[in-house]
Amino acid sequence: MAQGGWVAGARRVLSPNCDGRPAGSEVSLLVLHSISLPRGRFGGDAIERLFTNRLDPAAHASFAGLAGVRVSAHFLIRRDGGLVQFVPLEARAWHAGASRWRGRERCNDFSVGIELEGVDDGPFEVAQYRRLAGLVRELGARLPLRAFAAHSDVAPGRKSDPGTRFDWARLLGALGRPG
């Protein structure tokens, strides 16, 4: 169970890219993302470096556009199912950017962001779905989560993750919900 905003079993890597949620915010939305740095390469520490403002933009040609970017999610689920937590649940992680969900702006105010290590046009691993389902169950026991959304749903036209290959029916089935 989550204790003090941290989830047991997750490796903690504290990100500075967060702040306080607005007073009275109810965390009711879970936003799913996908990320790999460089694109299509898995493993390594580039994602953690990005989320902790330590990514060297000269380390890879694709990193140049990330110079000065301040972003993080609450969680990252690695390809092998490993779980990393960057931001405690009571804090607002900077994951969704300019966003809107069901008429509400600023999704970071009322959501938890979960990154899956992957690309928006590729499949995810069984271990990731297992870890994600367990994490969603754990978060649902602590937070009044009522909806799941893709980053592409809250930032249409701007974002495409987690992508068309993310298996929503598999996740909902693992959670015992109709797809």
Catalytic residues: 115
Chain position carrying tokens 């003090």? 4
Structure tokens at 145: 């989560």
Distance between CA atoms of residues 145 and 26, nearest Å: 9
Structure tokens at 82: 């490993």
DSSP 112: E
DSSP 65: G
Contact predicate 139/22, CB 8 Å: no
Distance between CA atoms of residues 112 and 171, nearest Å: 17
Range 7-31 burial, b when 16+ CB lie within 10 A, else e = beebeebebebbeebeeeeebbbbb
Distance (Å) of CA 76 to CA 10, 23, 26, 104, 178: 9, 26, 22, 25, 25
